[in-house]
Amino acid sequence: MKVALLQGGRSLERGVSLRSGARVAEALSDIGHEVEVLDLGPDLVAKLEGIRPDVAFIALHGTEGEDGTVQALLDLLDIPHTGPGVAACQRCMDKSLAKHILRENGLPTPNWVTYSEAAIRDFGAASSFQRAVDTVGLPLVAKPASQGSSLGVKVVTRAEDIPGALMTALSYDNRAILETWVSGRELAVSVLGDQVLPIVEAIPTDNNAYDFEARYEIGGASFVCPAELSDEDADEVNRVALAAYNALGCSGFSRVDLILGDDGPQILEINAIPGLTETSLLPQAAEAAGVEFEAMVARIIDLAL
């Protein structure tokens, strides 16, 4: 089969995408597909028209690749693609919208408020920061509304640090959310087709509970898969994760990130196109389920057709 592998792009996650793409390209060749690797650029549509692939494998992360932009183009060109569709991508990419949908579906997600740059700049939203603190409490997490990785994430323990944290978050997107910090175990549930894969747990390597940023550094966390959970907890986490995946309209594959706190699981976000690198969580989870990387790639292609 002729597969167009889309990787790179202009998002801040270009580097991760190139690593995901390299690994996927190798797997696709190994399982006998003809692979054309494409980076996003002014000639993307012309190239796709020229190649006329049977399917496009989207190994893009962040804006433009994960937010529905590329998916919409592929739909228009009548080229099937891997991963969720346009609408699901848009819902997942926008953390605020995703959280609204989760709430509407009765699914647990921490309290939050959303600030756009325009609201702060033009409508005096800064004078509502105290109200935001009353709503979400302290500590809280400030993050850009639409970045897939940990970029721009800051933990705020004092109200006076909100402007600085918002400055950071708003460097990565024109909207930011302030979300209640939930302490608990950090879990990731990957879904492949209709199969819920074993739960991955990220265990911080240092003991500072608020050192959220450090968990995303190399060596900042170690990963355990399957996570050691009671059957009851695992069932509940899987139920909530699959419900979130469905509520957002995901298909093909995606990853749901949650915190398991004292009051049960709380959904933080859904990654429409999670990383596929050597250290990424979806491949780890698939492997724990006995699905090797190549088989996983083959399955993702099947689900796209």
Which one of the spans 87-95, 181-189, 216-224, 283-291 is the region binding another protein (CB under 8 A)?
216-224
Pairing of the two strands 253-261 and 264-271: antiparallel
168, 184, 226, 242: which one contacts another protein (CB under 8 A)? 168
Which one of the spans 29-37, 97-105, 189-197, 215-223 is the region binding another protein (CB under 8 A)?
215-223
C-alpha span between 268 and 265 (Å, rounded): 10
Q: Does 180 bind another protein (CB under 8 A)?
A: no
Which residue is catalytic, options 8, 9, 11, 13?
A: 13
Which one of the spans 6-14, 93-101, 194-202, 251-259 is the region binding another protein (CB under 8 A)?
6-14
Q: Does 278 bind another protein (CB under 8 A)?
A: no
Which of 5, 6, 144, 115 minimizes the C-alpha distance to 64? 6
* DSSP, residue by residue, 241-304: HHHHHHHTT--SEEEEEEEEETTEEEEEEEESS---STT-HHHHHHHHTT--HHHHHHHHHHHH
Q: Does 120 bind another protein (CB under 8 A)?
A: yes
Which of 144, 141, 180 minimizes the C-alpha distance to 162? 141
Encoded one letter per residue, x for contact with another protein by CB under 8 A and - for no contact, window 218-257 reads x---------------------------------------
Q: Does 213 bind another protein (CB under 8 A)?
A: yes
Residue 187 neighbours by CB under 8 Å, 6+ apart: 199, 200, 201, 202, 227, 237, 257, 258, 259, 260, 265
15, 50, 137, 193: which one contacts another protein (CB under 8 A)? 15
What are the backbone angles phi and psi of residue 164, rounded to the nearest 5°? Answer: -60, -45
Q: Does 141 bind another protein (CB under 8 A)?
A: no
Which one of the spans 82-90, 134-142, 210-218, 249-257 is the region binding another protein (CB under 8 A)?
210-218
Which of 59, 80, 50 minimizes the C-alpha distance to 6? 59
Q: Does 171 bind another protein (CB under 8 A)?
A: yes
Which of 289, 305, 295 minimizes the C-alpha distance to 24? 295
1, 183, 195, 216: which one contacts another protein (CB under 8 A)? 216
CA distances from residue 253 to 101, 182, 271, 299, 300 in whole angstroms, order as listed? 19, 26, 9, 10, 7
Q: Does 211 bind another protein (CB under 8 A)?
A: no
Strand blocks (E) in 30-133: 34-39, 55-58, 112-116
Among this protein's residues, is 13 annotated catalytic?
yes
For residue 223, the SS3 value is: strand
51, 138, 151, 289: which one contacts another protein (CB under 8 A)? 151
DSSP state of 198: P
Q: Does 10 bind another protein (CB under 8 A)?
A: yes
Which residue is catalytic, options 11, 172, 269, 280?
A: 269
Which one of the spans 12-20, 28-36, 134-142, 244-252 is the region binding another protein (CB under 8 A)?
12-20
- Amino acid of residue 79: I
Q: Does 134 bind another protein (CB under 8 A)?
A: no
Among this protein's residues, is 149 annotated catalytic?
yes
Q: Which residues are catalytic?
A: 13, 149, 216, 255, 257, 269, 271, 275
Q: Which residues bind another protein (CB under 8 A)?
A: 10-16, 18, 117, 120-121, 126, 129, 149-152, 162-164, 166-168, 170-172, 213, 216-218
